């Protein structure tokens, strides 16, 4: 089974989390990963990671997606080396990392080009999961 990957450079803009959610949802569907509740969880994780990069990070923001069979990893990188830290929730936020923790198998931070990359491993997609679905839909050239 091959690994499928995608990379998106995102603007430092409050619209970026929505753009990222829609792009990831469409991409996972095209990869054959389309269970609705699972997709909603992936979208929530993507939104939180991108929002955190905009609010607390620095420099450019990139979103990477990897799928191997039914396993998916979402990564968001930014130019700030400051590590994400849980904080007490208040009217301005504080629930993002709690949500990410509850929806992922694990998440962790890596140093990345002078900044950081936050990687989140999602539970396997309960249905679909043919990571070769895209190539299976396209006939081989004769």
Note whether 61 and 49 are within 8 A (CB). Answer: no
Kindly give the parts of the chain with pLDDT less than 50: 130-142
Q: Using CA atoms, how far apart are residues 70 and 23, in angstroms rounded to an integer?
A: 18
The Cβ of residue 48 has, within 10 Å, a number of other Cβ atoms equal to: 22
What per-residue confidence (pLDDT) applies to 101? 93
The Cβ of residue 117 has, within 10 Å, a number of other Cβ atoms equal to: 18
**Domain containing residue 68:** 10-87+94-137
> Which sign does the torsion angle of CA 30, 11, 109, 116 carry?
positive
Into how many domains does the chain fold? Answer: 1
What per-residue confidence (pLDDT) applies to 91? 75
Residue 2 belongs to a domain: no
Upper half-sphere CA count for residue 96 (Cβ side, 13 Å):
22
Q: What is the CATH number of the domain that holds 103?
A: 3.30.565.10
- Between the alpha carbon of residue 25 and those of residues 21, 28, 85, 104, the distances in Å are 6, 5, 27, 17
Q: Using CA atoms, how far apart are residues 123 and 70, in angstroms rounded to an integer?
A: 8
Residue 30 belongs to a domain: yes
Residue 3 belongs to a domain: no
Residue 40 belongs to a domain: yes
Residue 1 belongs to a domain: no
What per-residue confidence (pLDDT) applies to 128? 63
Note whether 78 and 57 are within 8 A (CB). Answer: yes
Helix (H, G, I), strand (E, B) or coil at 83: coil
Nearest to 39 by CA among 2, 74, 88: 74
């Amino acid at each position: 089974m091959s690994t499928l990957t995608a990379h998106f450079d995102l603007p430092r803009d409050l619209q970026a989390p929505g753009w990222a959610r829609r792009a990831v949802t469409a991409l996972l569907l095209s990869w054959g990963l389309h269970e609705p509740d699972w997709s909603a969880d992936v979208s929530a994780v993507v939104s939180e990671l991108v929002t955190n990069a905009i609010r607390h990070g620095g420099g450019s923001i990139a979103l990477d997606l990897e799928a191997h069979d039914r396993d998916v990893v979402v990564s968001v990188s930014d130019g700030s080396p400051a590590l994400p830290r849980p904080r007490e929730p208040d009217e301005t936020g504080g629930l993002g990392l709690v949500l990410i923790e509850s929806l992922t198998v694990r998440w962790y931070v890596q140093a990345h080009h002078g900044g950081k990359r936050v990687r989140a491993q999602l539970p396997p997609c309960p249905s679909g999961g043919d990571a070769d679905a895209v190539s299976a839909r396209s006939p081989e050239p004769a």
